[in-house]
Amino acid sequence: MTIPSKFRLYLAGTMLALLISCSDNPSLKFPTEAEVEQMYSHYSSSSSSEFSSSSEPSSSSSVPSSSSFSALPSSSSFINERGTFIDTRDKKTYNWVKIGDQVWMAQNLNYNLSVNAVCHTKDENCSCGMLYTWIQAMALNAPKDNCDEQYCTGKIETPHNGMCLEGWHIPTKEEWETLISFSNKSANNLKATSGWGTNNGYDQYGFAALPCGEQDSLSYGTKGIWWTTAEDNPGSFAYQFMMDENNDVIDLKSNSKKFNFSVRCIKDN
């Protein structure tokens, strides 16, 4: 593949600026020749796309509808594609970001029209998003299904829409693990650059993870915890992933389905 020198010069300048500004991030490195070719191939093919995306979130004046996501490339490891969309259920606007082959919401879900989700007691404006029990996140009927006390694997679809808007779903444990692997298993690469006290992250990919904690606990401002669809033994438990302000680790945890944690939706393939 013949790659124009202007593109190589632009890419080299961008990477040099990143390396200088993020010199304390050992995961940054210049791309290989194969990665440069992949980036240029994506750049060339997406330049005529009808989908409005950029390296920065687009303004609210040009918000695409959720159906506009069909214009996203089906597969590419090029990162930093991002934009915004509107949840038609309550008209809230969310950021999205493409990381590897996955498209994630770049904010926690903040939908509460049909469930009794809560905000953290220290988050009066719910700027961190709603906190959901596992049953609420999965949009299951707790009293009828008794899913907060026993396994409900048969009620979990693939993908499982849950409380996410149409075209998006609650991430599986494996989808979270794919994201973690792409981030070099570094919480700092996924943490937001503010909100984590004195140990803020690099937000290398635009995921902007925040420490929204668990309702009524001391974890607000220190821990970010997100549900997955996966249940654990006993059936009254389910898995979630956690980041802590004091380390660079992303932990897989198992807790009662009755706890209130954050939700990040991921786009259907």
168-212 confidence digits (pLDDT tens): 999 999 999 999 999 999 999 999 999 998 899 999 999 999 999
Q: What is the pLDDT of residue 232?
A: 95
DSSP three-state, residue 76: coil
Tokens 């049909």, residue?
Answer: 114
Smallest CA-to-CA distance from 161 within 109, 97, 84 is with 109
What percentage of the chain has pLDDT greater than the value 70? 68
Check pLDDT > 80 for residue 60.
no
234-258 confidence digits (pLDDT tens): 899 999 999 999 999 999 999 999 9
User: 77, 98 in Cβ contact below 8 A?
Assistant: no
Question: Which helix (H) or strand (E) segment is 11 a member of?
Answer: helix 5-21
pTM summary value: 0.70
Q: What is the pLDDT of residue 52?
A: 38
Burial of 171 (C-beta count, 10 Å sphere; 0-12/13-18/19+): buried
